[in-house]
Amino acid sequence: MPSPSLNIAKKIPESISDTEVLQLLKNEKVDHRYIALFKEVSDISDEVISSWFNINVKTFRNYKKDSGDIKENIKEHLILLVSLFKHGKEVFGSKNLFSDWLHRENFFFDNEAPIDYLKTITGIRYIEDRLTAMEHGDNA
């Protein structure tokens, strides 16, 4: 029987549209399972993730529990992050190579590391655009 994370992962495409995000938010229960999935696909620390969501670590850890009620704006951010990390793994071939790219300074990101852009929806969308460009032969 497939794991719950695998079932959730299948619902989130590698490149996600606003319509798909809205549908997921409306039709799916975005809860601790999505956080578990993101932790699985990203290997990012609770401290870093909570800073992206602009919440304290304790609140984030409460969200990781079955009883934690996640705020709507964080649900959207979470869905987009899962999608981005799935796309990054696809483009780079592995989670580790994508992570290395995220942590390296990059000309296209004003010589900052792309990971610094994950605090905002716009930043996530920009990274998503760069990944799509790379799939079509652009430098990144």
Tens digit of each residue's pLDDT (9 = 90 or more) over 63-115? 998 776 899 999 999 999 999 999 999 999 999 999 999 999 999 999 999 99
Q: Work out the pLDDT band at 3, boundaries 50, 70, 90.
A: low
Q: What is the largest CA-CA distance in the chain?
A: 45
In the chain, pLDDT over 70 holds for what percent of residues? 93
What does the mean pLDDT of the chain come to? 90
The pair of structure tokens assigned to 120 is: 């905002």
Query: What is the CB neighbour count within 10 angstroms for residue 84?
Result: 27
Q: Residue 132, SS3?
A: helix
Q: Work out the pLDDT band at 8, boundaries 50, 70, 90.
A: confident
Cross-strand bridge partners of residue 106: 112
CA dihedral 106, 79, 24, 65 (to 10 degrees): 180
Residue 45 CB contacts under 8 Å (≥ 6 apart), including other chains: none
Per-residue pLDDT, 140: 64
CB neighbour class for 41 (10 Å; exposed up to 12, middle 13-18, buried from 19):
buried
Per-residue pLDDT, 1: 46
Read off the pLDDT of each residue in 5-19 and give the average, rounded to a whole number. Answer: 75
